[in-house]
Protein backbone atom coordinates (compact mmCIF):
# COMPACT_ATOMS: atom_id res chain seq x y z
CA UNK A 1 0.00 0.00 0.00
CA UNK A 2 1.42 3.35 -1.06
CA UNK A 3 -0.43 6.52 -0.13
CA UNK A 4 0.78 9.74 -1.71
CA UNK A 5 0.37 13.29 -0.37
CA UNK A 6 -2.54 15.18 -1.91
CA UNK A 7 -1.60 18.54 -3.40
CA UNK A 8 -3.64 21.58 -2.36
CA UNK A 9 -4.97 24.47 -4.48
CA UNK A 10 -1.80 26.61 -4.78
CA UNK A 11 0.30 23.82 -6.32
CA UNK A 12 1.11 24.64 -10.01
CA UNK A 13 0.51 21.06 -11.24
CA UNK A 14 -3.18 21.55 -10.39
CA UNK A 15 -3.47 24.58 -12.66
CA UNK A 16 -2.03 23.35 -15.95
CA UNK A 17 -3.17 20.83 -18.54
CA UNK A 18 -1.86 17.34 -17.82
CA UNK A 19 0.11 15.47 -20.49
CA UNK A 20 -1.18 12.46 -22.41
CA UNK A 21 0.10 9.06 -21.28
CA UNK A 22 2.17 7.70 -24.18
CA UNK A 23 2.82 4.18 -22.84
CA UNK A 24 1.12 2.17 -20.11
CA UNK A 25 4.07 0.51 -18.40
CA UNK A 26 4.89 -0.72 -14.90
CA UNK A 27 5.45 2.86 -13.70
CA UNK A 28 1.98 3.94 -14.86
CA UNK A 29 0.36 0.83 -13.36
CA UNK A 30 2.10 1.60 -10.03
CA UNK A 31 0.86 5.20 -10.19
CA UNK A 32 -2.69 3.93 -10.71
CA UNK A 33 -2.39 1.59 -7.70
CA UNK A 34 -1.01 4.43 -5.58
CA UNK A 35 -3.91 6.63 -6.70
CA UNK A 36 -6.42 3.97 -5.64
CA UNK A 37 -4.67 3.64 -2.25
CA UNK A 38 -4.66 7.42 -1.79
CA UNK A 39 -8.29 7.81 -2.89
CA UNK A 40 -9.37 5.07 -0.47
CA UNK A 41 -7.38 6.48 2.45
CA UNK A 42 -8.90 9.92 1.78
CA UNK A 43 -12.45 8.51 1.54
CA UNK A 44 -12.71 10.05 -1.92
CA UNK A 45 -14.92 9.09 -4.85
CA UNK A 46 -12.21 10.05 -7.33
CA UNK A 47 -8.70 11.37 -7.65
CA UNK A 48 -6.71 12.69 -10.60
CA UNK A 49 -2.97 12.26 -11.12
CA UNK A 50 -2.26 16.01 -10.71
CA UNK A 51 -3.72 15.74 -7.20
CA UNK A 52 -0.84 13.44 -6.27
CA UNK A 53 1.66 15.72 -8.00
CA UNK A 54 1.85 13.92 -11.36
CA UNK A 55 0.89 15.90 -14.47
CA UNK A 56 -0.55 13.01 -16.49
CA UNK A 57 -4.06 12.45 -17.87
CA UNK A 58 -5.22 9.70 -15.49
CA UNK A 59 -7.97 9.56 -12.91
CA UNK A 60 -9.48 6.90 -10.70
CA UNK A 61 -13.02 6.71 -9.36
CA UNK A 62 -15.26 4.70 -7.10
CA UNK A 63 -19.03 5.07 -7.10
CA UNK A 64 -21.53 2.36 -6.16
CA UNK A 65 -24.41 3.72 -8.26
CA UNK A 66 -22.54 3.68 -11.58
CA UNK A 67 -25.14 1.60 -13.42
CA UNK A 68 -23.67 -0.84 -15.96
CA UNK A 69 -20.20 0.67 -15.59
CA UNK A 70 -17.77 -0.95 -13.10
CA UNK A 71 -18.17 0.81 -9.75
CA UNK A 72 -14.38 1.26 -9.47
CA UNK A 73 -11.92 2.04 -12.22
CA UNK A 74 -9.08 4.02 -13.72
CA UNK A 75 -9.32 6.03 -16.92
CA UNK A 76 -6.24 6.97 -18.90
CA UNK A 77 -6.29 9.74 -21.53
CA UNK A 78 -10.02 10.28 -21.11
CA UNK A 79 -12.23 12.33 -23.38
CA UNK A 80 -15.47 13.71 -22.00
CA UNK A 81 -18.50 14.87 -23.96
CA UNK A 82 -21.34 16.68 -22.20
CA UNK A 83 -24.68 15.26 -23.37
CA UNK A 84 -27.06 16.99 -20.95
CA UNK A 85 -27.62 20.70 -20.49
CA UNK A 86 -26.15 22.59 -17.56
CA UNK A 87 -28.83 24.51 -15.68
CA UNK A 88 -28.32 28.25 -15.41
CA UNK A 89 -30.33 28.37 -12.17
CA UNK A 90 -28.70 29.15 -8.83
CA UNK A 91 -27.18 25.89 -7.53
CA UNK A 92 -28.73 24.48 -4.38
CA UNK A 93 -26.28 24.71 -1.46
CA UNK A 94 -27.00 21.10 -0.43
CA UNK A 95 -28.15 19.25 -3.55
CA UNK A 96 -25.31 20.59 -5.71
CA UNK A 97 -22.55 20.78 -3.08
CA UNK A 98 -19.22 19.56 -4.36
CA UNK A 99 -16.00 18.96 -2.48
CA UNK A 100 -12.45 18.30 -3.56
CA UNK A 101 -9.49 16.62 -1.90
CA UNK A 102 -7.34 19.53 -3.17
CA UNK A 103 -9.64 22.06 -1.49
CA UNK A 104 -9.69 20.15 1.80
CA UNK A 105 -12.50 20.68 4.27
CA UNK A 106 -14.68 22.94 2.13
CA UNK A 107 -17.74 22.45 -0.10
CA UNK A 108 -19.41 24.79 -2.56
CA UNK A 109 -22.43 24.28 -4.84
CA UNK A 110 -21.94 23.98 -8.58
CA UNK A 111 -24.33 23.23 -11.44
CA UNK A 112 -23.11 20.47 -13.75
CA UNK A 113 -24.58 18.39 -16.54
CA UNK A 114 -26.32 15.25 -15.33
CA UNK A 115 -25.35 13.27 -18.46
CA UNK A 116 -21.92 12.77 -20.05
CA UNK A 117 -20.08 10.33 -22.30
CA UNK A 118 -16.57 9.19 -21.35
CA UNK A 119 -14.05 7.45 -23.59
CA UNK A 120 -10.44 6.51 -22.91
CA UNK A 121 -8.30 3.57 -21.87
CA UNK A 122 -8.48 1.40 -18.78
CA UNK A 123 -5.39 0.49 -16.72
CA UNK A 124 -4.71 -2.49 -19.01
CA UNK A 125 -4.71 -0.22 -22.06
CA UNK A 126 -8.03 -1.47 -23.39
CA UNK A 127 -10.45 1.09 -24.87
CA UNK A 128 -13.53 2.00 -22.85
CA UNK A 129 -16.65 4.03 -23.52
CA UNK A 130 -19.64 4.66 -21.29
CA UNK A 131 -22.29 7.18 -20.38
CA UNK A 132 -22.66 8.48 -16.84
CA UNK A 133 -25.70 10.14 -15.30
CA UNK A 134 -26.51 12.00 -12.10
CA UNK A 135 -23.80 12.09 -9.43
CA UNK A 136 -21.67 9.68 -11.42
CA UNK A 137 -21.67 12.25 -14.26
CA UNK A 138 -20.67 14.91 -11.73
CA UNK A 139 -17.71 12.80 -10.58
CA UNK A 140 -16.56 12.27 -14.17
CA UNK A 141 -16.70 16.02 -14.92
CA UNK A 142 -14.94 16.91 -11.66
CA UNK A 143 -12.03 14.52 -12.27
CA UNK A 144 -11.78 15.38 -15.97
CA UNK A 145 -11.53 19.08 -15.08
CA UNK A 146 -8.43 18.30 -13.00
CA UNK A 147 -6.71 17.02 -16.14
CA UNK A 148 -7.31 20.33 -17.90
CA UNK A 149 -5.97 22.37 -14.98
CA UNK A 150 -9.30 23.32 -13.40
CA UNK A 151 -10.61 22.78 -9.90
CA UNK A 152 -14.34 22.90 -9.34
CA UNK A 153 -13.91 26.19 -7.46
CA UNK A 154 -12.79 27.76 -10.77
CA UNK A 155 -16.30 27.11 -12.11
CA UNK A 156 -18.39 28.59 -9.28
CA UNK A 157 -20.88 31.34 -10.02
CA UNK A 158 -20.20 34.91 -8.89
CA UNK A 159 -21.89 34.55 -5.50
CA UNK A 160 -19.98 31.40 -4.53
CA UNK A 161 -16.71 32.63 -6.07
CA UNK A 162 -16.74 35.55 -3.61
CA UNK A 163 -17.10 33.09 -0.72
CA UNK A 164 -14.40 30.83 -2.14
CA UNK A 165 -11.94 33.73 -2.46
CA UNK A 166 -12.37 34.51 1.25
CA UNK A 167 -11.60 30.87 2.10
CA UNK A 168 -8.62 30.86 -0.30
CA UNK A 169 -7.11 33.91 1.38
CA UNK A 170 -7.82 32.64 4.91
CA UNK A 171 -6.29 29.20 4.22
CA UNK A 172 -3.23 30.63 2.40
CA UNK A 173 -3.67 28.39 -0.64
CA UNK A 174 -2.44 30.93 -3.18
CA UNK A 175 1.13 29.57 -3.01
CA UNK A 176 2.71 26.15 -3.59
CA UNK A 177 3.82 23.85 -0.80
CA UNK A 178 0.54 22.78 0.80
CA UNK A 179 -0.50 19.15 0.91
CA UNK A 180 -2.01 16.60 3.25
CA UNK A 181 -1.40 12.88 3.71
CA UNK A 182 -4.54 10.74 4.07
CA UNK A 183 -4.40 8.31 6.95
CA UNK A 184 -1.72 10.38 8.71
CA UNK A 185 -2.99 13.96 8.78
CA UNK A 186 -6.34 14.82 10.31
CA UNK A 187 -9.12 14.15 7.80
CA UNK A 188 -10.24 17.62 6.61
CA UNK A 189 -13.72 16.33 5.79
CA UNK A 190 -14.21 14.59 9.15
CA UNK A 191 -14.57 11.05 7.78
CA UNK A 192 -14.44 8.46 10.52
CA UNK A 193 -14.77 10.93 13.40
CA UNK A 194 -17.94 9.26 14.66
CA UNK A 195 -16.09 5.92 14.60
CA UNK A 196 -13.48 7.31 17.00
CA UNK A 197 -15.97 8.45 19.62
Beta bridge partners of 132: 116
In contact, 98 and 44? CB cutoff 8 Å: no
Report the 10 Å Cβ neighbour count for 105: 13
What is residue 16's three-state secondary structure? Answer: coil
Instruction: Quote the DSSP letter at residue 162.
Output: H
In contact, 91 and 109? CB cutoff 8 Å: yes
User: Cα torsion at 170, 40, 144, 81 (round to 10°)?
Assistant: -140
Q: Which of 20, 94, 143, 171 is catalytic?
A: 143
Residue 100 annotated as part of some ligand binding site: yes
The answer to whether 143 is a known catalytic residue is yes
Residue 106 annotated as part of some ligand binding site: no
Q: Does the CA dihedral 43-46-50-55 come out positive or negative?
A: positive
For residue 156, give every residue at least 6 positions away whose Cβ sits within 8 Å of its Cβ, in sequence order, or none.
Answer: 108, 109, 110, 164
Q: Give the residue ranges of the annotated binding site for Fe cation.
A: 100, 142, 146
- Give the active site residues: 143
Amino acid sequence: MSIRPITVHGEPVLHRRAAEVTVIDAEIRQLVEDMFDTMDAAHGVGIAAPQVGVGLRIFTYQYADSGDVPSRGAIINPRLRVLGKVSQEEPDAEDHAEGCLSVPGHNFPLQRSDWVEVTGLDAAGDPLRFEARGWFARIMQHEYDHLDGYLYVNRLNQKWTRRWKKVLKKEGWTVPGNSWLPGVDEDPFGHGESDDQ
